[in-house]
Copies of this chain bind each other. A is one copy, B any other.
Amino acid sequence: MLAVAYGVLAGHHGGVPTARERVRAELTAEITDAARRQLAEVGAAALSLRAVARELGMASSALYRYFPSRDDLLTRLIIDGYDALGEAAEKADDPSAPPQERWVAICRAVRGWAKEHPHEYALLYGSPVPGYQAPQDTVPAATRVGVLLGTVLGDAARAGLLPETSGGRDATLISDDAVAALGGEHPAIDEEVRVRALLAWSAIYGTVSFELFGHFVGSVEDADRYFDRAMTALAHLLGLGRERSGP
């Protein structure tokens, strides 16, 4: 009888959260916050449960009641990170704006979030953490930005703003799931357009990562303006709009 009550209190009901549940959620948040701070100091590979516990003044063993292992804590951080990035990108999107403006706004939001959370960004998009295998749970959050960019592409196609290319259909190149994300089926979105969309997303990622990981040092003097110019060139590659011709 008591065991049943505990099971219910642990979150298997749909009602208002109990005091116990609120406390647990709060402490869980404190743990992930401390873990994010530690991430910034030592990186994902060296993230340790014990150091998190030390920072919170707890015994390390107490953390195992919240996260069964170090990898589970890492998974939580990864999912939270993808969701935060995805939300930042979605909030920056105004679906009523012209496609090229939407495109640049989303790119700026991605870069902005990355610069505000460089270590979380590195966790998501940097070198894989050795010995860590991401579970399937991370997939939905991980695809949010890509899906959003695909939506812009699809909307542009439906509005007739996407010039048709001649890439033809090539069913073996990009998976059906990715086709759905990249604007769905539409006459103006052929394989060539999809390739360019995926290339564009790779280029955003490459540009942000180059800057964050220090590979632009000594080459790019004004990163903000370079980024805007580069993203506009990308939109042009996609055929999302005419390029500004003046300086």
Chain A interface (Cβ within 8 Å of chain B)? 41-46, 122-123, 125-131, 134, 139, 142, 146, 166-168, 170, 172-175, 177-178, 181, 192, 195-196, 198-199, 202-207, 209-210, 213-215, 218-222, 225-226, 229-230, 233-234, 236-237, 245-247
Contacts and interface: CB of A to CB of B under 8 A. Distances in A.
Contact of A230 (B44, B195, B225): B195
A246 B204 CA distance: 28
Given A142-B215, A174-B226, A206-B209, 11 more contacts: A43-B45, A122-B128, A127-B213, A134-B214, A172-B222, A174-B221, A175-B221, A178-B220, A198-B230, A199-B233, A204-B206
Nearest to A200: B203
Contacts of A195: 226, 229-230, 233
A209 B205 contact: yes
Oligomer: number of copies? 2
A47 to B, nearest CB: 10
Closest 10 A-B residue pairs measured CB to CB?
Answer: A206-B206, A126-B127, A43-B130, A45-B45, A203-B203, A178-B219, A202-B206, A122-B127, A168-B247, A199-B230
B130 A174 contact: no
Given A230-B198, A247-B167, A220 B127 contact: no
A15 to B, nearest CB: 37
6 contacts: A168-B247, A174-B220, A178-B219, A198-B226, A199-B203, A199-B230
A86 to B, nearest CB: 14
A194 B126 CA distance: 26
A173 B215 contact: no
Contacts of A247: 167-168, 170
Nearest to A45: B45
B218 A207 contact: no
Given A199-B203, A202-B203, A230-B199, A175 B127 contact: no
Contacts of A234: 199
A177 B213 contact: no
A98 B202 CA distance: 26
A213 B41 contact: no
Contact of A175 (B198, B207, B220, B230): B220
